[in-house]
Amino acid sequence: MPNQATARAPEPDIVGRLARFFPEATPVRIPIKLSRSHGHNGNGNGNGDGNGNGNAGAHEDENEFFQNTIIEFGTPHEVLFVVARPLEFADHVLIESHDGSLRAEASVVAVQYHPERTAIAARFLNKVPNWIVKS
């Protein structure tokens, strides 16, 4: 039946267009919890470690759940994903994998708007060693 009028491009295709600007980008599929991070927006906290060590309760209060999504592409320094609600250039986000292997703050460095979806590239604020392994 021709009931697919509402079909849209799969997220990997949307993010793939943005990934062309990141030559090191590797396809991955990592489910994440994405939160807005308020810890670096003019409150004098400096760089912070972004890894959740130390005063975790204070860090949790500074982060506001945004949505669950999937990292579609990654580089050693960036993650690329799609969100249903818009983020803007330079917004800070906290990226947490569901298995707990990744928890890092990042800043939005590229945005591509699509109908009902926005492709995002975010760069880690601090070094995240070995989060992505190329074979």
When pLDDT is cut at 50, 70 and 90, the band that residue 37 belongs to is: confident
Q: Given this model, what pLDDT does residue 134 score? A: 58
How large is the average pLDDT for residues 69-79? 96
pTM over 0.85: no
pLDDT recorded at residue 54: 32
Q: How confident is the model at residue 106 (pLDDT cuts 50, 70, 90)?
A: very high
CATH numeric code, 11-124: 2.40.10
**Tokens standing for 63?**
């982060």
Antiparallel, parallel or unpaired: β 78-83 and 63-74 = antiparallel
Note the pLDDT of residue 86: 82
For the chain, domain boundaries: 11-124
pLDDT digits (tens, 9 = 90+) for 75-100: 999 999 999 988 999 999 999 998 88
